[in-house]
Amino acid sequence: MRILVTGGAGYVGSHTVKELLARDHYPIVYDNLSQGHKEAVLSGELIVGDLANQEELRKCFDKYKIEVVIHFAASCYVAESVKNPAWYYENNVVNGLNLLKVMLEFGVKKIVFSSSCAVYGIPAKISIPESHPLNPINPYGMTKLIFEKILKDYEGAYKMKYISLRYFNAAGADESGKIGEDHNPETHLIPLVLQTALGQKKNIEIFGTDYNTPDKTCIRDYIHVSDLARAHILALEKLTKEESSDIFNLGLGKGYSVREVIETARKITKKPIKIVETGRRAGDLPQLVADASKAERELNWKPKYTKLENIIQTAWRWHKNNP
């Protein structure tokens, strides 16, 4: 299939492109390289373009006869979204609307959307199913929710079909060691912990030690990026076969605290990793753990990396080789 992958040079995007290529699909990456890296697109086409540029998008749909879209391109930092909501609404919503507009012009009516557990807001119970109320507490989560609502309305009016994948915390790196997590600036816990192990950072800050969790630090559900990538392929296959819209959580269903992540990284790297405890980061929730049983049941998705140790091991290999 000829698949436009917006944001395909980014972290989850590049891992998904690799998986698509392995399955003989034809991904065309559309990425403005603001966060992505051209080296992360291991092979296939890369169009350096922005979703704000409708003309460029049209050229791309025309030239490559796009059949379906996987939409990753977005800004994805919770704290930044609190400081600069205008940019988040513009990039994640307005630019996303440009994409949908051009899709409709070219009669492309299937999209897999990269959503987030940030759509839920404060969890009412420990593991969160897709049916959980949607009350995002930060602009990032709100942009993802708005785009899901837009997709639902476009389905009603224009018969657009979508699968929205709500990721919990993407982590780890491809086994090949060729691609991994490389944000600039880096704000995510696991890469920052590993940078500390490598001596690139003096210490790792723990944001908040007064949460209502067993060790008082935040709990997240870390899911391996290659497992996420595989879920996109399954979603794509379901979407093209069944032509019905759906929403799935993607996570391991296990939560680890910030302290547990640091402890695990110490064991793997055999480095001391100095901690500094600081205040809470704006927009952070105490605990986010997936109930991903629907994806296992209906997408037939089974994560390969079921332990935090294995996930951090793949990340460590990538960070050591790409300091």
Residues within the interface to ligand UDP (CB under 6 A)? 78, 169, 187-189, 192, 204-207, 218, 220, 258, 281, 284
Task: Please identify, using beta-carbon distances, which residue of 91 and 234 lies nearer to ligand UDP.
Answer: 91
Least CB distance to ligand UDP at residue 154 (A)? 27
Cα 226 to Cα 27, 65, 122, 156, 301: the distances in Å are: 17, 27, 27, 33, 12
Task: Please identify, using beta-carbon distances, which residue of 57 and 127 lies nearer to ligand UDP.
Answer: 127
Token digits of residue 255: 């939560």
Task: Please identify, using beta-carbon distances, which residue of 207 and 318 lies nearer to ligand UDP.
Answer: 207
- Cα 300–chain centre separation: 20
Least CB distance to ligand UDP at residue 269 (A)? 16
Task: Please identify, using beta-carbon distances, which residue of 98 and 195 lies nearer to ligand UDP.
Answer: 195
Nearest in space to 262 (alpha carbons), one of 199, 194, 202, 207: 194
Nearest in space to 147 (alpha carbons), one of 106, 99, 192: 99
CA distance 8 to 237: 18
CA distance 293 to 248: 9
For strands 219-220 and 45-48, give the pairing. Answer: unpaired
The residue sitting closest to ligand UDP, measured at its beta carbon, is: 218
Q: Of 11, 77, 120, 140, which one is the catalytic site residue? A: 140
Task: Please identify, using beta-carbon distances, which residue of 187 and 245 lies nearer to ligand UDP.
Answer: 187
For every residue of 235-284, DSSP letters joined together read HHHHHHHH---EEEEES-S--EEHHHHHHHHHHHH-----EEEE-PPTT-
Nearest in space to 222 (alpha carbons), one of 195, 261, 196, 184: 261
CA angle 197, 204, 85 (to 5 degrees): 125
Which residues does residue 276 pair with via DSSP β-bridges, in sequence order?
205
Catalytic site includes residue 140: yes
The catalytic residues are 140
